[in-house]
A and B are shown apart, each in its own frame.
Chain A
Amino acid sequence: MFGQYDIPVNVETGGCAIRVTEHDGAFLYHREAGGETTQKWILADQCRLLVNPVEPVNRPNELTQLLLIEFEKPVLVEPKGKKTVFLTFPVEVGVFVSKTGEGGDEGMIEVIDGFTLAGQKLTLYGDPDNGQICRYWMSGVFPSMPGTDPRREGVMEIEISSGTDKWAEVTRTVLSAPHMKLYFSDRLVSMKARMTITGEKSAETAFTDQPVEEGMQKSVELYRVRKMAVLSTAFTMEHGL
C-alpha cells in the first residue's frame, strides 16, 4: 500500500481501497477504509500520489500532538540502567499529492487525505485541569521485534534508560508527533525512540532519525508538509510514568 503511484491508480489491500480515476481532464480521488468513504476532485495537469504512514495522532480529530503508549505490563528499570525493547504503535496513513512535470519538487507536496485501520482512542495524561489529551494505544513490551500488519501497526524500537539512582517502574511512554521519524517497507512501519527517566515521575522522550532495519524508506513528515514549526527536540513527561 505505501509508496508512490502515478495516476490514475487503483490500490486495494486488506480492508482499504484507494482509487484515482480520470474524468475529462480532472482526477477523482476515492478512498474506502475503516467503514469511511472519502472523495475529492484533484485539478492538476500532472501529479503523483504518495501513500505514506504518518504521525499517528490525527484521528479521530486533530486534537493532540501526543501519542501515549500504555504498556500491557509495567517495566522495572534498574538504577542507571539502559535497555532496548520493542513496542507497537497504531499506523495512520497519509495520502499526499505531489506535482510533477515542470517545477515539480518536494515542496509541492500537499496532504489530501488521512485514515487509519487501527483502533482510535483518546486519553488524558495528567489531571483534567493541567493535563494533556493524547492519542491512546496499548502495547505489549517485546524483547525482540514482533511481527505486525504494517497497515495497522508499526514497530517502535525504544531505548529506555534511567538517569536516577533508584529503580523506576514505567507503565507508559508519551511521544511527541512533530519529532517522530517514520520509516516504512513492504512488511514493516517503524520508529526509533529513546526514553530517559529523569525522576520519580518524569522522563524525556525523543526520536532517532534511523530505520530499525536496512532498506526502509523514510516517510513524508506531516508536520513539515504543513509547515508547522518544531521548537524543541524532546518531549518532557511531567505527569508520571
Chain B
Amino acid sequence: MILEKVIYNDVTLLDLMIAAGILLAAVLAARILSLVVKKQLRDKVKDDSLKLVARIIHYGVMLTAFISVLPLLGFSLSGLLVAGGITGLVIGFAGQKIGSNLLSGIILMVERPVKIGQQVGIGGTEGYVEDVNILSTIIRTYRGHFVRVPNEKVFTESITNYVANVARRFDYTVGIRYSDDAEKAIEVTMAVIDDFPLALKHPAPRVFVDNLGDNSVNLAVWVWTPSTEWFEARMHLLWKIKKGIEAAGIQVPFPQRVVWFADKAKPSNRDEK
C-alpha cells in the first residue's frame, strides 16, 4: 500500500501524515486554548501580561506536540531526554524563583485579593497598589517609596486590604482624670461623634470606660467610617473630641504620681481640684 512506502530510514508516508495531523491539531488546540484563556482573563489581567500568558500556552502546546511527533519522524528521544533532563534540572534550580513568581502572579490575577489603587499591607510593606504584574506587585508606600514585591511573597504572606470592605472601624483611647465624670465624658464624646458626618450612624459608635490606668481613666472610642475616608475621619475627629470634652470641663491628664510622706501621715486627697 502507498501509505506503507518508506520515505527515509523506517519512516513511512503514514507516519509523516500522522505527524502532520498531530502538528495541525496542536496548532488548532494551541490557538483555541489561547483564545479561551484570553477571554476568561480579559477583565482580570492587563493586556501585555495576558498576551505573555497566551503566548506561553501557545508555544507550550506546540513544543509538546513537536516532541511527541519526533519518534514518528525517526528521531530517538533518549539522547534528547537525557540532555533535556540535565538542562531542565539546571534551569529548574536556577529559575525556581522565577517560576514560582510567575505561577503566583497568574493565581493572584485570577484570585485578585488586591486591586490597583487599594491600600494594602503585605509582609510589612504598607501603601497603595500601583501595579499588579505577572512577576511582581508594585506598592507605593505612604511616604512615596517605590517597593517591588515578588508575587511569590504576595501569594504566601498575609495580605491586609484596608479598603476591600465598604466600612471599617478605627479606635481611640481617650484618658480623663479620675476626678472627672466618666458618664459625662462619654455623653460629650458621643455627641461630638454624632455631629461628625464621616462617622457612620450604623454601625453605631461606642464609647466606654476601657480601663483604669496609672494616670487616667481610659475611655475606648470605636468609630465606623467609610473605608475610603477612614484616615480623613481619624485625622480630624480626635481633636474635636478633645476640644469637646475640655469645653465640658473635663481634662486629659498628664502622667502624674501621688507621693505620700510617711512622717506626714495624712494621705493627699485625689479629688483635689
Contact = CB atoms under 8 A, between A and B. Distances in A.
A59 B197 contact: yes
17 contacts: A63-B226, A121-B201, A122-B197, A122-B198, A122-B199, A122-B226, A123-B202, A124-B166, A124-B167, A124-B200, A125-B202, A128-B166, A128-B167, A128-B168, A128-B224, A131-B167, A132-B166
A212 to B, nearest CB: 27
A124 B169 CA distance: 12
B165 interface: yes
Contacts of A123: 200-202
Contacts of A132: 166
A60 B200 contact: no
Interface size class of A (residues with CB under 8 A): 10 to 19
Residue with the highest number of chain B CB atoms closer than 10 Å, among A120, A122, A131, A136: A122
A164 to B, nearest CB: 25
Nearest to A138: B201
A120 B197 contact: yes
A133 interface: yes
A144 interface: no
B166 A122 contact: no
B229 interface: yes
Given A122-B226, A123-B202, A129 B165 contact: yes
Nearest to B224: A124
A13 interface: no
Contacts of B224: 124, 128
A122 B203 contact: no
A61 interface: yes
Contacts of B12: none
A131 B201 CA distance: 14
* 3 residue pairs, one from A and one from B, having the closest CB atoms: A123-B201, A60-B197, A120-B197
Interface size class of B (residues with CB under 8 A): 10 to 19
Nearest to B228: A63
Nearest to B226: A133
A124 B197 CA distance: 13
A132 B224 CA distance: 13
A60 B199 CA distance: 11
A61 B202 contact: no
Contacts of A121: 194, 197, 201
Contacts of A63: 226, 228-229
Contacts of B167: 124, 128, 131, 133
A122 B200 contact: yes
Contacts of A136: 201-202
Nearest to A132: B166
A18 B228 CA distance: 32
B89 to A, nearest CB: 46
Given A123-B201, A136-B202, 17 more contacts: A59-B197, A60-B197, A63-B229, A120-B197, A122-B197, A122-B201, A122-B226, A123-B202, A124-B167, A124-B202, A125-B202, A128-B166, A128-B224, A129-B165, A133-B166, A133-B167, A133-B226
Contact of A60 (B165, B166, B194, B198): B198
